[in-house]
Amino acid sequence: MKSDDLIITIKKEISAIKDIVNLNILKIKYLGKKGYISSQFLLIKKLNKKEKINKSIIINSQKKQIKKIIKERIKEIKLIKNNKQYSNHEIDISLPGKFIKIGSEHPLNYIIKKIENFFVKIGFKIVIGLEIEDSFHNFDALNIPKYHPARTEKDTFWLDKNILLRTQTSNIQIRIMKKKKPPIRILTSGKVYRNDYDNNHTPMFHQIEGLYIDKKVSFTDLKGILSIFLDFFFGKKYQTRIRPSYFPFTEPSLEMDILNKNKKWIEVLGAGMVHPNVLKNVNINSSKYNGFAFGIGVERLTMLYYNINDIRSFYENDLRFLKQFKLNNFI
C-alpha cells in the first residue's frame, strides 16, 4: 500500500473509534513494540544503506502522522464525553459556586483614606514623599538644633552620617515649600521610623502631615480645622482638648488629646504656626506669608477608633485580627 493511502486508511479506522480504551488498542497495533511501525523498521534492516535511509524517512513520517491522528482523536472523544455530561445534567448546575476569599483592607489604610477624604474636601492636595531622608530635610531646615536629642542614635535610625529613615513626615513640609510658591495646602501620609518598641510604640508607624501657607493664616484657623476634623472623625464620641506644646518648627505649638474610655488623655496630634526660621530656610518671605502645620499619629487615632489596645497588632499579620475590619471597606 502506498504511504498516503495507508495514512488515509488508518485515519478512517481511528475516527470510527468512540472510546479511549479501544483507541489505546489501536495505538498499540500501530505504535506498540510489536506494532506496525516497529515491524517496518525490522524489515528495512536487510536493505542496502541508501534504501534504508529512504525507507526510514518514510516510516518516521508515518509514525509522526499516526501519533498526531491519535492525539487529535483523544481530544475529540474527551470533548464529546464532556458535552454529553452537560446535556445529561450529570453536572448539577444548581450547586452553589466556589467561594473566593478576598482580603480586607488594612485598618491603617482605611483610616488614612478617611482622614485624606476630610482634608481633600476642604481644599488640601495629597502629595507623597520620601522615607529615606537627609538630615537637612528631617532636622536642619525644620529648625531642629544640632544638639537636639532626637538626632541621636537613641531615637533616629541613621543609614550613614547624613542619611536617615525619616523620624517624622514634617520633612515633606520642607520639600514642598522648596518647590512651590504659596498658597500651599497639602497633606501627606506615610511611614516614619523611631528607635522605640513597647505596646504603645513600634519602630515604624504612620503619620499624616498637613501644611497650609498663605497670607493671613491664623492660629484660630488651625484650632478650628483640627477641632472640626476630630469631631468629624469620631462623630463627637470623645472629648478632646487642646494644650500648649513645643516643636522647634512651629511657634506657637499645640497638641491635641482625646479622653479615652479609661478616662486617660491620649495625645493624637501635634501642630502649630510654621516658625519664621523654617520659612526663611525655604526662601518664603515670612512678613508676607505665614501658615500652620500639623502631624497626626495614625496608629493612635485608629486604636481609639476601633478600641485596639496593643499597637503591635497592626503589624503581626494575624488574620483573626485583620478579618474584623472587612466591613469597613464598604462604609
**Within 10 Å of residue 216's Cβ, how many Cβ atoms?**
9
Give least dist CB 324 to ligand PHE, A. 29
Single residue of 129, 182, 270, 291 touching ligand PHE by CB under 6 A: 270
Q: Taking the chain, what is the end-to-end CA distance rounded to the nearest angstrom?
A: 78
Q: Which is nearer to ligand PHE, 107 or 270 (CB)?
A: 270
Give least dist CB 159 to ligand PHE, A. 19
Q: Please provide the DSSP assignment of 88-151 as one string.
A: TT-S-TTSPPPPPP-----HHHHHHHHHHHHHHHTTPEEE---SEEEHHHHTGGGT--TT-GGG
Q: In what order do the strands lie in the sheet with 204-214?
A: 125-127, 184-193, 204-214, 290-297, 265-274, 250-259, 240-247
Q: Which is nearer to ligand PHE, 107 or 291 (CB)?
A: 291
Binding flag, residue 250, ligand PHE (CB under 6 A): yes
Binding flag, residue 271, ligand PHE (CB under 6 A): yes
3-state secondary structure 39-103: HHHHHHHHCCHHHHHHHHHHHHHHHHHHHHHHHHHHHHHHHHHHHHHHHCCCCCCCCCCCCCCCC
Single residue of 62, 272, 279, 301 touching ligand PHE by CB under 6 A: 272
Site for ligand PHE in 17-56 (CB under 6 A): none
Site for ligand PHE in 117-176 (CB under 6 A): 168, 170
Q: Which is nearer to ligand PHE, 143 or 168 (CB)?
A: 168
Binding flag, residue 294, ligand PHE (CB under 6 A): yes
Binding flag, residue 291, ligand PHE (CB under 6 A): no
Single residue of 107, 182, 291, 295 touching ligand PHE by CB under 6 A: 295
The separation between CA 261 and the C-alpha centre of its own chain, rounded to angstroms, equals 33
H helices present in 215-312, as ranges: 219-234, 276-281, 298-306
Give least dist CB 281 to ligand PHE, A. 15
Give least dist CB 113 to ligand PHE, A. 20
Binding flag, residue 268, ligand PHE (CB under 6 A): no
The binding site for ligand PHE (CB under 6 A) comprises 168, 170, 209, 247, 250, 253, 270-272, 293-295
